[in-house]
Chains A and B, each alone.
Chain A
Amino acid sequence: MKKLNIKFFAILLLVAFSCSDDFVNVDSPFENSEDFFNSEEDYQSALIGAYDPLQSTYLNVLLGEIASDNTLAGGESAIDVPGIQEVDDMIHTPINQQLRDIWSWMYGGVNRTNFIMEFKDKTDFPNKNAVLAQTRFLRAYYYFELVKWFGDVPFKVDARIQFGDQFSIPRTPKAEVYAQIEEDLIFAAANLPYIQPQTGRITKGAAQALLGKAYLYQNKFTQAATVLEDLINNGPHDLIADYSTMFENDNENNIESVFEVQYTDLEGAGFGCLQCSEGNVAVGFNGIRNYTGPLFESGFSFNVPTQEVVDAFEPGDVRLETAILDIDQWAADTGATFSIGFEHTGYFNRKYISRQGDLNTGDANLTNPNNYRSIRFADVLLMAAEALNRGGIDDGRAQLYLNRVRTRAMLPEVMATGTTLTNAIYQERRVELVGEGHHFFDLVRTGRAAAEIDGFQAGKHELFPIPSIEIQLAGNQWEQNPGY
């Protein structure tokens, strides 16, 4: 009896106290971010992660277009997405969810690229420069968006912004940010091929085009002209002959597309995480409200073109039909039906409204597969023309590039020079690129916004406010942008 007693007690004690504190040290089934980057595959995986936030730039494109005089906010009612409505009316304040989304999502992209850069020296492999080149292009792309929207921004390179760092990173003058953008893009252009084996990968052409654009935004006309002409002359890109096919889903990644954000309808999405969608959310937002009829699909009737931008097209411009859908005319021709949303103008942004024929994976409004043609060769030609003209470099070559675009649009050539040519280039940019999210920033960088946009106050609206909550969350160390 006593024996059993002691034995039992001993076993019990043994079992009971055999657990050491190590029992509660459990490794995550997922990789630890500090112990990653041990193979090329790890770098490639992280690179895919860094591409991902490109898809969330749908909001930059949508809101950028609405901010301009090209389109109105639209939607269901005056309180449908107040943040969008306010930007349209130039009454936006530092409390604006969509501006906060752009801010946060772009920094998400910055952090994912900086994660790779933080560990860039950890493991060597033959293709590493190609990976780093894509990474640096992406970082430049995200920072460029931030600078465009917010001006001076908190800036960090080659290391993640970790929890706690937010209190100590000041807003950095945008010139410094641009310097990094240029450096990143020069590296990217030097280390990437014009043709990538996979469509959707960043190319040398994309890096050159974005570099040219960044120069142009800083009025560095000579550098802009040089890099853009290099691309025009040595790159593989050209205008496609038929503008009307440019935005169709079966003509994605065509020869005119220098950089294209890739979207797909292969995965579902929901309103809970719009930035998680693999589809182009803007396309559903732009779509015709309660539409039933051929070719197109229904959407939320945001971003509706104004009569003014329709009137901006010269008579005979073949691009009008591709860019703008006159819904009343369309309904009369086809018997389609639709309902009238807020600020209905009768027009829709035909380049980026949903089309039939995709998979409509739920929520169908959020999973449109339409790729966003971020930088088209037409844009490159017009940027080159502008740089050559405004930089006083060569109006002849400027005309040449401008007229390549006009000729395709079935419009007569422009022979003007000087500021007349400048204005012609501006006008061409507006109609060639309408609906693509560039116009507001073109107006701002060329100082024309106050004259063109109702409610735009010079000295204030060139930049959007930093969301006030973001200022608070970073310890109130940042000055708000002027006027807000």
Chain B
Amino acid sequence: MKHQLLTILSFLMLSFAGAQNLTITGVVTEADTGFPIPGVNIILKNTSTGTVTDFDGNFSLANVPSGSTLVFSYVGFISQEVVVTSAEPLAIQLATDVAQLDEVVVIGYGTQRKKEVTGAVGIVSSETIEELKPTRIEQALQGQVAGVQISSNSGSPGSSSTISIRGISTNGDSRPLILVDGNVIEDLSVINPNDIETVNVLKDATAGIYGVRAANGVILITTKSGRKEMPLTIEYNAYVGLQETTREIPALNATEYALLVNEAFAANGESLQFPNVSELGQGTNWQNEVFQTAPVFNHAITVKGGKEKSTYAFGQSFLTQDGIVGLKKANFTRFTKRGSYSLDFLDNFKFNAGLIFTNTNRRALPESGLGSVLFNALNNDPTLNVRENDGSFSISEGLGNEVINPIAQIDNTFNRSVVNKLSGNASLSYNFLDHFTAQSNIQFNYSHVKSTTFNPIAFFGSGKVFNRDRNELVIFNNYFRDYTFDAFLKYERLFNDTHNVKVLLGTSVFKTTGEFSGRVGRDFVGNSVAEASLDGAGEIQNIYPNGNATFDSRLLSYFARVQYDYKGKYLISGVIRRDGSTKFGPENQFGYFPSGSIGWVASDESFLEDSSVFNFLKFRSSYGILGNDRIGDYRFVSILNGEGTYVFDDELFFGIATGVISNPEIRWEKQKAFDVGFDARFLNNKLDVTADYFKRTTEDLLFSPQVSGILGASSPGSAAPTINAGTVENKGFEFAIGYSDQVNDNFKFSVKYNLTSIDNEVLLVSAQGGFIAAGGFGVGQDPPARMEAGFPIGYFRGFKTDGIFQNQAEVDSYPTLNSQVQPGDLRFVDINNDGVINDDDKTNIGDPIPDFTMGLNLTFDYKNFDFGAYAFASVGNEIVRNYERNQPLTNRSIYYLDRWTGEGTSNTFPRVTSGANSNGLFSDFFVEDGSFVRLQNVQLGYSFSEKALERMGFDKFRIYISGSNLFTLTEYRGYDPTTSTGEAIGGGIDYGFYPNPRTFLLGINVKL
């Protein structure tokens, strides 16, 4: 309304002013900083006449009729209109767009103004990424976006994280689809976080534009590019830092250990292992030996700019990070080079391209499992020295076949995995007949992964499973290629300034192929990694005797989207996608995925337009069916890729055998996703609230359950078929609130908080047996985690305990597992009250899914200082303590000092004995509360003032110090409650996870 009035007014003025033309000059600056803004578009309203500001923000426009309106616009700033009546130079200050409602959101095959988005989209901006300094982009998502949960699989350099969006909806592969500039990227370690402009997370049914791959949510990452008319800018970012462990699990020292071992042996009537404990002292703290302070170093340079019709950006980065266990032996180094370029051949014919080359080099130690370095550090005998007097490593005799000297283990580990990856994209778009745009994009990835492992001859103690009598060199060369080709046609038209219609029609093909080859060489004369090359092998074997393994999977899709809004107030959109996937058989190859969403911008209604409370209020809802095809190839057809190897004449003969059992019936897994929510801003846009309720029901769950043994699925190289048989429901709330304010010229601050609740329940497992079990506990015990109707996915099933038997009378009067039970042992609860303790008494003793997750962000800017802090929390998840080997001679945590030693001494920690006992069976004794709050990042920066910058010749010069993972409040006794294998069934079992390091950084950001 205002708009129109102004237009009319200017017309009127124009007519009065007659033919008087002016030359208007001036300068455009940022309202906040006073810096000039280059590249601001200045248009004489309702004409095509205009200009742009130069490097210094200056402009000049001739032949401007007096009384006409000039429109100043620039991305990220609120546009301004100025009526000119004289030739006096203008000083225009553009305010940054605080409300950011004009911010565009990438929604798949296009963008949308944030105001008009009807889906649940989470956004992480480049500022956030800059603040957090993640080495991997997942770290920037943790706690930042409601509904997105990140669990790092390990804290070792280069290791991956598991991302789950709105709960775990499938027991199979629950990773979201990740697209970097439209390009499918599975491994985010190859991306330099510095290169990222924004990360948009599509959390609800609007992700349905990605059809069969959308059920786990979609993450769209846009990399940085230049802007038109942007002067050459160079940014340099670097940091150097130190990392250390956040925790050592308190373990027994040598004396305590020896006494406890003696007690255990005495309890079983055996002779004492350490007749003289007085000389043992503290002994070796193996955790101290393996944990070290490790350096990390990163630098990145970006050059970008733009001309009238083109933009460009180039960047290069280098990251090297040592491990807090093993230093160089666990190093991760990443080198990236990237370039992007866009060119407008014509005003309506545009070209855009980008290329990223990444080289990563990773070395890794055994982790997270029986026999990993940390597992050994926790369980090795503290009375042993690291080395014997002759300099050789000490031998861990008799501690269980997997427990060895961890330092010797590090010393004997040699591996390297090198990834060379080239990713590119190019697109052409052509605008015609005013309202049509045709665009085609091609994206590709090519990568070569070479992994080399050298296993030297080594002896760690008799019978140790790591002993090696033959050295070997294992080399894998794996090649991966994929491309995505999209072509689509858009029609966008605003009718009568009220009816806004957008139609998208398109097609997409995706093809990914790979080839795996591997060879193992044995019996090298020298036993050193330096000398080992396959040429020197005494014997070479091909790991794929029947020819290199390959895969080829494809997707063929058609999609359509219609969006309509009435005056930007009533919004509605619908999507349909048809996907054909090579994962399914001829009858089920194609699937249709419809979804729709509606929105209502209530704040544009007349009754709220002048509201003093709401600056903005939008309600939105979406519903749709999304798919999942993340299963292995060719599961619908029986192919002969099993293992059929036998020996004749003392030589190996390679035959054929059936691979995975086929199921011609499999079809895509479908998820019905519902979302309702609102976005609101109050108090002059200072307070920002978003809330959502969601419910996602995944049906026809694809998984490989246990199947009858008579099918032969456990033959070498075979496996159970993939079937559709289950339903999982995730529902919950997301709530995000933010408050930001510029208090005065010197001080501004912001606080952001988000909360997600997730209620996960398995509704149906129709596989025979009614459950799927997975995960591992101890050695040779049943899988402890299950997916079963009526329980959260991956719940822990085991015995419930009720304290400890204090005396024989208690043992006698209570059902026990077997006759070995004695006073001091755990008392398992007879759940079904049938008078016997057996498998039927195992019950739900926890689950790894948090009830709530939260994130909190704080920033303050005071004069030249900036401060940021960020914390996240998880409440109500359980973790299984599984890093104790529980053998008579293995070390234990100090909690065993409080063990039961006689009636009334303890009701929590059972007796120690080297004899047979059932205390090691999986029970809630091993299940702990994994809730935590972690202060993830604190950062203090100082930016030099404008004056100082002028002297130095920089546009920006900032130095900062930052600390990551500073402290964690938790009752969990293990290393790190934030790590998990990320498996749907079997997640939350802690084999001695490599903790995420605490990191201190010193860095600079320079711009010129």
Asked if A200 meets B647 with Cβ closer than 8 Å, knowing A33-B640, A52-B716, the reply is: yes
Q: Which among A36, A46, A169, A342 is the interface contact of B644 at CB below 8 angstroms?
A: A46
The answer to the question of A21 belonging to the interface, with a C-beta cut-off of 8 Å to chain B, is yes
B634 near A28 (CB under 8 angstroms)?
Answer: yes
Shortest Cβ distance from residue B921 to the other chain A in the assembled complex, whole angstroms: 7
Shortest Cβ distance from residue A139 to the other chain B in the assembled complex, whole angstroms: 13
Instruction: Give the interface residue-count category, chain B.
Output: 35 or more
The contact string, 1 if C-beta is below 8 Å from chain B, for chain A 276-290, is: 101000000001011
A9 near B522 (CB under 8 angstroms)?
Answer: no
Report Cα–Cα, A316/B469, bound state, in Å: 38
- Which residues from B are CB-within-8-Å of A475? 768
The answer to the question of B661 belonging to the interface, with a C-beta cut-off of 8 Å to chain A, is yes
Asked if A474 meets B708 with Cβ closer than 8 Å, knowing A24-B556, A80-B780, the reply is: yes
The answer to the question of B920 belonging to the interface, with a C-beta cut-off of 8 Å to chain A, is yes
The answer to the question of A103 belonging to the interface, with a C-beta cut-off of 8 Å to chain B, is yes
Q: Which among B455, B710, B888, B915 is the interface contact of A154 at CB below 8 angstroms?
A: B710
A276 near B716 (CB under 8 angstroms)?
Answer: yes
- Which residues from B are CB-within-8-Å of A5? 430, 432-433
What are 27 A-B residue pairs whose CB atoms fall within 8 Å in the complex?
A12-B430, A23-B554, A23-B556, A24-B556, A24-B580, A25-B589, A26-B582, A28-B641, A51-B655, A52-B644, A76-B887, A77-B888, A78-B917, A79-B778, A97-B780, A100-B709, A104-B710, A105-B714, A108-B716, A110-B710, A110-B712, A112-B715, A163-B661, A163-B707, A264-B650, A278-B652, A290-B461
Asked if A52 meets B709 with Cβ closer than 8 Å, knowing A163-B663, A339-B398, the reply is: no
The answer to the question of A326 belonging to the interface, with a C-beta cut-off of 8 Å to chain B, is no
Q: Which among A82, A111, A473 is the interface contact of B706 at CB below 8 angstroms?
A: A473
Extra inter-chain contacts (14) besides given A110-B710, A291-B463, A359-B522, CB under 8 Å = A16-B487, A16-B488, A48-B645, A49-B657, A105-B714, A108-B714, A154-B710, A163-B707, A166-B711, A262-B650, A278-B647, A291-B462, A361-B470, A364-B468
Q: Which among A163, A276, A365, A472 is the interface contact of B711 at CB below 8 angstroms?
A: A163
The contact string, 1 if C-beta is below 8 Å from chain B, for chain A 351-395, is: 000000001111111000000000000000000000000000000
Q: Which among B349, B401, B580 is the interface contact of A21 at CB below 8 angstroms?
A: B580
The contact string, 1 if C-beta is below 8 Å from chain A, for chain B 688-724, is: 0000000000000000001111111111111001000
Interface size on A, residues (CB 8 A): 104
Counting chain A CB atoms within 10 Å of each CB, the highest count among B581, B710, B712 belongs to: B710
A161 near B710 (CB under 8 angstroms)?
Answer: yes
Report Cα–Cα, A268/B400, bound state, in Å: 22
Report Cα–Cα, A273/B401, bound state, in Å: 18
Report Cα–Cα, A422/B16, bound state, in Å: 131
- Which residues from A are CB-within-8-Å of B462? 290-292, 298, 337-339
The answer to the question of B820 belonging to the interface, with a C-beta cut-off of 8 Å to chain A, is yes
User: Which residues B639-664 have CB closer than 8 A to chain A?
Assistant: 639-659, 661-663
Q: Which among B590, B640, B768, B782 is the interface contact of A32 at CB below 8 angstroms?
A: B640
Shortest Cβ distance from residue A473 to the other chain B in the assembled complex, whole angstroms: 4
- Which residues from B are CB-within-8-Å of A36? 640, 656
- Which residues from B are CB-within-8-Å of A275? 714-716
Shortest Cβ distance from residue A253 to the other chain B in the assembled complex, whole angstroms: 9
* Closest chain B residue, CB of each to CB of A467: B709
Counting chain A CB atoms within 10 Å of each CB, the highest count among B349, B433, B656 belongs to: B656
The answer to the question of B102 belonging to the interface, with a C-beta cut-off of 8 Å to chain A, is no
The answer to the question of B353 belonging to the interface, with a C-beta cut-off of 8 Å to chain A, is no
Asked if A77 meets B661 with Cβ closer than 8 Å, knowing A48-B654, A49-B655, A49-B656, the reply is: no
A267 near B645 (CB under 8 angstroms)?
Answer: yes
Report Cα–Cα, A15/B442, bound state, in Å: 12
Asked if A48 meets B649 with Cβ closer than 8 Å, knowing A28-B639, A275-B716, A360-B469, the reply is: no
B432 near A9 (CB under 8 angstroms)?
Answer: yes
Asked if A360 meets B468 with Cβ closer than 8 Å, knowing A32-B638, A266-B652, A275-B716, the reply is: yes
Shortest Cβ distance from residue B235 to the other chain A in the assembled complex, whole angstroms: 36
The contact string, 1 if C-beta is below 8 Å from chain A, for chain B 10-37, is: 0000000000000000000000000000
B455 near A362 (CB under 8 angstroms)?
Answer: yes
The answer to the question of B637 belonging to the interface, with a C-beta cut-off of 8 Å to chain A, is yes
- Which residues from B are CB-within-8-Å of A469? 706, 769
A163 near B397 (CB under 8 angstroms)?
Answer: no
The answer to the question of B506 belonging to the interface, with a C-beta cut-off of 8 Å to chain A, is yes
User: Which residues A425-482 have CB closer than 8 A to chain B?
Assistant: 467, 469-470, 472-475
Report Cα–Cα, A319/B652, bound state, in Å: 32
A268 near B768 (CB under 8 angstroms)?
Answer: no
The answer to the question of A299 belonging to the interface, with a C-beta cut-off of 8 Å to chain B, is yes
- Which residues from B are CB-within-8-Å of A127? none
The answer to the question of A39 belonging to the interface, with a C-beta cut-off of 8 Å to chain B, is no
Report Cα–Cα, A366/B656, bound state, in Å: 23
Counting chain A CB atoms within 10 Å of each CB, the highest count among B463, B467, B887, B915 belongs to: B463
Report Cα–Cα, A49/B715, bound state, in Å: 10
